[in-house]
Structure 1
């Protein structure tokens, strides 16, 4: 996470990803951001809302550079509106556009990247959170068919 306000385990439904990795450029023309395709994001939002689950909707910074989430890059991505940092969304969204299939993505508050350093926030011990998000995501997927 980039945003300190996002608690460990708190879900974030992604609306876009800043492209700071290599894979997405093999599938779609260069651009600063890429968005999910189709109505999956809407289905996720509707399903999470119906379940009464507190969640956020936001943008991700996708990077494939391990340990290069520097203070300067973190600040710049926050200024661009990114709330989370992860490694897959931009590539997945680009492949979905290329293949003309629908995609959406939800992540949850895990480790925290802050100027003082890295805080794991015990993100690996969030089995119940992952199970709930899986179940709700499956319910959202069923709405699409």
Structure 2
């Protein structure tokens, strides 16, 4: 499940891709594709959307899911295109609380994290681990909030990881998540750095990486 619509569009145009189904919703239908031996469906943006799609894919028989997309960086030592595996998330969204008892943080399943890190190492990828800050309100990532999250040990920020971890544990579905570093939120300076020039430089083919990981994690 890629978060990037550009990735999904590229997959849909590939000669070997087959459209095998549809997820229906009031906001629009989403196609399900079969490509290179795996099912591909866009993750969507925000915890409620991705969890609703995960619920439907589980009902269709999916047992393992790899989700990947970009994240904001709170630690500027994390360079653009760095592969990051979240190990825990601050729960600053709402969806996770419907799948796990209330708490300030949630840990990703250690077994899944270890399996993913091993697969990345075999693929020759220099990955790092990090605690993430999962928040629904990306326009409210204020300097004060960002500073508090950094003080709590968060190195990156996303919108869905906490909910995915809670859902995977509750539904007993193997979920694997990895990020690639994108923009930088500088709490000390109170500034947002888009890193446009750095991000324009081609990085790894992260969809190809996800396919390789899917084959190793079967």
Q: TM-score, normalised by structure 2?
A: 0.60
The higher radius of gyration belongs to 2
Residues 1:70 and 2:142 are matched in the alignment: yes
* Cα drift, residue 63 of structure 1: 0.4
Q: Is the 8 A contact 2:91 2:106 kept in 1?
A: yes
- For the residues of structure 2 that align with 1:90 and 1:127, how far apart are their CA atoms? 29
* Cα drift, residue 31 of structure 1: 1.1
- For the residues of structure 1 that align with 2:201 and 2:110, how far apart are their CA atoms? 29
Post-superposition CA distance 1:39-82 (Å, at most 9, x none): 33222211222233222111100000121111221111111111
Aligned Cα RMSD in Å? 1.9
Post-superposition CA distance 1:2-39 (Å, at most 9, x none): 00101111111111111001111111110111122363
- For the residues of structure 2 that align with 1:125 and 1:108, how far apart are their CA atoms? 14
More strand per residue: 1 or 2?
A: 2
1:144 alignment partner in structure 2:
217
Q: TM-score, normalised by structure 1?
A: 0.87
Structure 1: runs of 5 or more not aligned: none
Q: Is the 8 A contact 2:91 2:134 kept in 1?
A: yes
1:4 pairs, out of 72, 76, 81, with: 76
How many residue pairs are counted as aligned between the two chains? Answer: 143
Post-superposition CA distance 1:67-107 (Å, at most 9, x none): 11112211111111111001010111111111111112110
1:104 is paired with a residue of what secondary structure? strand
